[in-house]
Structure 1
Amino acid sequence: MASLPEGALMQRAAAGLAYAVIGHLRGRGLGGVYGKRVVLLVGSGDNGGDALYAGAILARRGVQVEAWLLADRAHSGGVAALRAAGGGVVKLSEGYRSLSGSQPSVVVDGIVGIGGKPGLRPDAEEALAMLAGVPVVSVDTPSGVCVDTGEIDGAHVTADLTVTFGSHKPCHLLDPAASACGTVQLVDIGLRLPKPVIESLEAADVADLVPRPAPDGHKYTRGVVGLRVGSATYPGAALLAVSGANTGLAGMVRYVGTASEWVKRHNPEVVGDGQAQAWVVGSGSADGANSALAFARASGVPLVIDADSLRALNGPLGVPAILTPHAGELAALIREDRGDVEARPLHYARLAAKRFDAVVLLKGRRTTIASPDPDTPVRVNTTGTSWLATAGSGDVLGGLIGSLLAAGLAPIDAASAGAWLHGTAATLASAGGPVTASGVAAAIPAVIRSLPAVSS
């Protein structure tokens, strides 16, 4: 990095930003970029410098670029470059007067960068209000969100496109801030990156994690997963959890519960009680949730704890465990407000993982998976579709994670790979339309077949 000329990284970032804006304009069916109008909202830091240099590139392509300065100072080199390219640089009040002409095609948000505090100053809020309805491209992160936690506290930019540099930031992955990012486009500018504190699996990562049978393997060496789920009140939960487990990832599936005959009618491969390498408990268990958890815990093997069995927890279990609550269940478990959990998923997933000495998979649009080990990066799952918000989908997920756990994956890997496969299966089964939990389970083998080949 020391060998790079001064300003080289900013120039790389600006070039990536400029061509992302060009792609965004073309993607909206506006034809060529010549003659289009772009307004830059420019703060005092390097984020504003990126916007100014990108504006200079756009101006040289025939775009009408005008920078509105939100501070008394701005990046001097960027200002000079934009003016030299034929762009305009004005104070905010002058920019407002220019709106009497044509509306901009795009606004570039260069207000604050990764060092900014949550919220926006009143002048930035006013500028955004004046430009309401115009598509926004944010530089690195939407201004006003909390970059490191994904939290939102006060006014912020809601972008159509966020162009970030070097690596994704936590706010690009974690809700609620991720919802303000729009589409996120990553530009490689040659940074040397530290070990992440937040990460997200991709298809190649999952391909490396998915257990594959050894040439001399058999059903017992591939892992046996047991499920104590469902009840007379919720027999369907048993069938759905078993369908998530019975996808071929484990060598054998056991079921113990009141829905035994129904489960075996639909899944003739499933057998009854016996030893298992992992147990799944809680889904639809109703009044039997506590006893199911007590039995599974006494077995000494790793557990997946869902739904009704979560209510029985009061501390560490003494065995490796994965807890799979949604926000309401986690709020009840740790005696916090559900709205607070939804506003701060990273904080509360970490808190619960430490309190219960377990991996916590906090379900949501962006499922957040925290390990009790503070040195293990939190994983955020980005796969899925809004159609996945359907009854029974969590039961399928619990069974799927249980099969991965029984097959030998570490709890953090079983939880995060399971969430990725579950979301991807939902997208495949949905094909852009409605999907049921049963359809998600049925699509899991096809997703596994589609994974990239694993290099030997």
Structure 2
Amino acid sequence: MRTAYSVETVRAAERALMARLPDGALMQRAAAGLAAACADLLRRSGRVYGSRVVLLVGSGDNGGDALYAGARLARRGAGVRALLTAPDRAHEGGVAALRAAGGRVDGADRVSTDLIGRVDLVVDGITGIGGRGGLREGAATLVRALEATGAPIVAVDLPSGVEADTGEVLGDAVRADATVTFGTYKPGLLIDPAADRAGALHLVDIGLDDELPGVPDLEALQYADVAALLPVPASESDKYRRGVVGIVAGSARYPGAAVLAVGGALRGGAGAVRYVGPGADAVIARHPETLVHSGPPSKAGRVQAWVVGPGLGDGTAAVSAVADVLAADVPVLVDADGLRLLDASVVRARTAPTLLTPHAGEAAALLGVPREEVEAGRLAAVRELAARYRSTVLLKGSTTLVATDTEHTPVRVNPTGTSWLATAGSGDVLSGLTGSLLAAGLGPRDAASVGAHLHGLAARHASDGGPVAAQDVADAIPAAWRDVRA
């Protein structure tokens, strides 16, 4: 499992570790890991000896890491040039080490970017995890000029200009091809829009683990974590012991939503799917194994979890269906139209688990804020939604986040998916899949996390680099499941 910690927690851990180490040892560990990662990138496109490396160096320890790493590269025959954005506040030991190794040091304001010449690698050490706001104008201009060279950019700890704790990008920021981070991941490396600027992530062990608390701020499940959570039927299982999920979805206008939600549910681990709604004919035509009922949901038969909302519309029948489902004493997943029709006070009063699965626009409506605010601050939005509705919330998007209203519980971020997943109906498949996991016995946080992980993997399988339709994603869920188990 990948875990991420806030800047405050990382700083405290670093102070505790430095108190037990010789002076400067922690920075040397970081610099050694950074230099190794840079050398590896240079070898992929040529070699370290004779390569041209430009260091963008700010003040403080982040710049020191870059300078000491540059010194190591210079000693291996690379031509290293450091451009100091704050010459009077640059790390003195790092500057001296680079010069001693044969590197060149210049003030960034004294260098004409069109005379830099050939560049094989750029190392971004302008700001560290304590930086706030976007890059200053001079640094932003320098970054744009070096980006134009086409040379790969390696960020030190995180791309300069992004917010380490939130993943926000509040101005100009570096877009890195790779980020070498130290000790632990930072939330901004895993959450968009900042994560989109981090590139490939390389974690360097600097001995911080023993100083970090047991509960991180953020976590991302990996294959082994998901495999351990997948429901597997026992030898004595039957379809009812495996769980029955109820789907309330679709309308005369959107019958396909019912088909897609049921399709996701049938592949999600539950033993049976009950469908309630006007799309029964379309559902049975596509999925004849489905149990159908004309409604209301409370009369459809026993279920272990409900999914309500995809393609439901906003008529009186839809309003009644949402209210009926929320009155049930089983876990309920609310998606799409169901989010517009729910009564917030009813959701907060429920004793059985509730899982809300909005995209950014729906989350904005639930919070009463502009969509842009949610997209810019996804971590704050998902936490606020979970607290306000006393529910588990899966916030869909380029990085899917899962938060609960339980204090000191890490937010989960899903690392799988593809941009081709932004297609009509994919959310309906996710709702059915996740609801099935709820019915199979997973708690709402685990069901949401596993559902998002499998959904993203299924999209990768179905897409294989090309366009994908929602039904393709549903059909690829078994392959994703096998992939995780393997």
TM range (shorter): over 0.9
Per mean C-alpha deviation after superposition, the further-off stretch among 72-81 and 428-437 is 72-81
After superposition, the C-alpha distances for 1:292-338 in whole angstroms (9 at most, x for unaligned) are: 21111122111110111111234241131111111111112222101
The answer to whether residue 69 in structure 2 is matched with residue 69 in structure 1 is no
Residues of 2 paired with 1:305 and 1:452: CA distance? 28
AA of the residue aligned to 2:223: A
| Equivalent of 1:305 in 322, 334, 340 | 334
Per-residue deviation at 1:101? Answer: 5.2
Residues of 2 paired with 1:382 and 1:289: CA distance? 34
| Equivalent of 2:470 in 429, 437, 448 | 437
The answer to whether residue 180 in structure 2 is matched with residue 160 in structure 1 is no
Q: Equivalent residue for 1:323?
A: 356
Q: Equivalent residue for 1:59?
A: 74
Residues of 2 paired with 1:196 and 1:394: CA distance? 28
Contact 2:268 2:433 in 1 (8 A): no
Unaligned runs of 5+ in 1: none
SS of corresponding position for 2:340 = helix
AA of the residue aligned to 2:447: A
Per mean C-alpha deviation after superposition, the further-off stretch among 86-95 and 53-62 is 86-95
AA of the residue aligned to 1:276: V
SS of corresponding position for 2:344 = coil
Matching of residues 168-207 of structure 1 within 5 Å: 168-192=185-209, 193-194=212-213, 195-207=215-227
Q: Equivalent residue for 2:444?
A: 411
Per-residue deviation at 1:3? Answer: 4.5
Residues of 2 paired with 1:336 and 1:93: CA distance? 41
Q: Equivalent residue for 1:285?
A: 312
Contact 1:226 1:278 in 2 (8 A): yes
The answer to whether residue 242 in structure 2 is matched with residue 242 in structure 1 is no
Q: Equivalent residue for 1:339?
A: 372
Residues of 2 paired with 1:65 and 1:246: CA distance? 58
Cα root mean square deviation, aligned: 1.6
| Equivalent of 2:148 in 102, 122, 133 | 133
| Equivalent of 1:360 in 393, 418, 421 | 393
Q: Equivalent residue for 2:62?
A: 47
Matching of residues 346-425 of structure 1 within 5 Å: 346-425=379-458
Per-residue deviation at 1:122? Answer: 3.0
Per mean C-alpha deviation after superposition, the further-off stretch among 159-168 and 201-210 is 159-168
Residues of 1 paired with 2:34 and 2:116: CA distance? 26
Residues of 1 paired with 2:415 and 2:99: CA distance? 41
Q: Equivalent residue for 2:290?
A: 270
| Equivalent of 1:256 in 269, 272, 276 | 276
Residues of 1 paired with 2:109 and 2:116: CA distance? 15
Contact 1:198 1:379 in 2 (8 A): yes
Per mean C-alpha deviation after superposition, the further-off stretch among 422-431 and 293-302 is 293-302
After superposition, the C-alpha distances for 1:228-257 in whole angstroms (9 at most, x for unaligned) are: 111111111000000000015001111111
Contact 1:278 1:406 in 2 (8 A): yes
Contact 1:171 1:178 in 2 (8 A): yes
Q: Equivalent residue for 1:448?
A: 481
| Equivalent of 1:117 in 98, 123, 132 | 132
Residues of 1 paired with 2:61 and 2:485: CA distance? 39
Per-residue deviation at 1:439? Answer: 1.0
Contact 2:85 2:109 in 1 (8 A): no
TM-score by length of 1: 0.95
Per-residue deviation at 1:172? Answer: 0.7
The answer to whether residue 42 in structure 2 is matched with residue 25 in structure 1 is yes
AA of the residue aligned to 2:171: G
Per-residue deviation at 1:435? Answer: 1.2
Q: Equivalent residue for 2:245?
A: 225
Contact 1:96 1:130 in 2 (8 A): no
Per-residue deviation at 1:138? Answer: 0.7
Count of matched residue pairs: 450
Contact 1:56 1:82 in 2 (8 A): yes
Per-residue deviation at 1:262? Answer: 2.1
Per-residue deviation at 1:214? Answer: 2.2
AA of the residue aligned to 2:196: S
